Amino acid sequence: MIYTYLLKSLKDGSFYAGITKDIEKRLETHNRGSVINSALKRPYILVFFRKHPSYIEARRHEIWLKKKNVVYKNKLFSVAQLAPPISGGVK
């Protein structure tokens, strides 16, 4: 599986959209400053992610997400805060 993801900078509130096979590892990479395009705005938090069956679909969604304005991305962030954390099973 491949994922699209949206990060929010805790430094200035800006957003970063991307694709990856491993969300946790990618978030760590961004927060270490290893990604040139996002290094100056770290630290980041994960706002949103979506699973895709193929790279092509993930890339299309990433491009679509990058075109969305800040108002849309902030609403997505607000909704994500209301959702319960993801867990491995039902308790």
Per-residue pLDDT of 25-51, as tens digits, reads 999 999 999 999 999 999 999 999 999
Is residue 88 very low, low, confident or very high in pLDDT (cuts 50, 70, 90)? very low
Closest CA to 45 of 20, 16, 85: 16
Global pTM reads 0.83
Q: Rounded CA gap, 44 and 84, in Å?
A: 20
Report pLDDT digits (tens) over 2-19.
999 999 999 999 999 999
List the Cα angle 65/84/18 in 5-degree steps: 25
Radius of gyration over every alpha carbon of the chain, rounded to an integer in angstroms: 13
